[in-house]
Amino acid sequence: MTKQSSTYQSVKLSENASIKIEDNLVIEAPLQININNEPYTVVMRTPGSDEALIKGLLYAEDICKKNEDFKLSVEKNEENYSTIINVDIKKERLGKGYLNKRTLLSISSCGICGKKELKDLEVTGNTLKNKDTTYLKSFVYTTKHMFLKMNELQKIFKTTGGSHACSIFNKNQELLTIQEDIGRHNAVDKCIGDLISNSNLKEAKYMLVSGRVSYEIVSKAFLAKIPFIIAVSACSSLAVDFAKEFGICLIGFSRDDKMTVYANPQFLV
């Protein structure tokens, strides 16, 4: 059976204690889809049922509709679950989606749509050097109040219950920006764009997000040089791997008076 979760060491925090634990995280890994040996797109997925995923995606993209027209072969399967699968489809059986050279339909929940090869996912730059540490005893309390501030300003969510939010605070936990969108990645992009417009991106220290954290959100924070990401929900395996490499303190399940630190806990003293 394909492995779909992995165990990571983390630190569970509350206002009165910190405990080292082992936590199970869902595996996030890239799948490159080639069509007739030419790169078509890359999707992030949890390993398993890759054939079904590809067939469903190409059906939705109007590239191939009939099961007998698919012939899949695995070109590369790495230990880190990065996979390349080629789909052989006779040219006369290719649908309009491919003939129009339309890349993967971009949707609001996806931050990598349009990338064609695994190498396109690489993010370069020096590891963040966080000069300021945050006092552990007050961190849970201040984080709770940053989330309360964000929740108070989520106007779209209050009306619809269907939007995500991102907010960014400075080192004094003062709100710099908050943005909402149906897509998690879009909300992050809006916040960073707003800070760029106001020439205060350098003040950003804490990024709070309303949902889970995948690798794309970590890479966006890294490029914006934001050293803390704090999420209401879970973090993916690749998000933790990237955060460790990039020097970002990554925190998930920040609810009430508890949270779990998955990467770079040394930022909290």
- 62 a known binding residue? no
- CA-closest candidate to residue 230, choices 200, 252, 202: 252
Taking the C-alpha atoms of residue 187 and residue 182, their distance in angstroms, rounded to an integer, is: 8
Provide the token pair at 72: 């899949």
Burial label, 4 (beta-carbon count in 10 A; 0-12, 13-18, 19+): middle
- 255 a known binding residue? yes
Taking the C-alpha atoms of residue 110 and residue 55, their distance in angstroms, rounded to an integer, is: 19
Q: Specify the pairing of strand 29-35 against strand 83-88.
A: parallel
Contact between residue 265 and residue 244 where contact means Cβ atoms under 8 Å apart: no
Catalytic residue set = 110
- 256 a known binding residue? yes
- 257 a known binding residue? yes
DSSP for 99-150 reads HTT--PPP-TT-SSTT--SGGGG---SPPP-----B-HHHHHHHHHHHHHHH
Query: Which residues make Cβ contacts (< 8 Å) with residue 94, sequence separation at least 6?
Result: 35, 63, 64
Biggest alpha carbon distance in the chain? 66
Taking the C-alpha atoms of residue 235 and residue 26, their distance in angstroms, rounded to an integer, is: 8
Residues flagged as binding site = 253-258
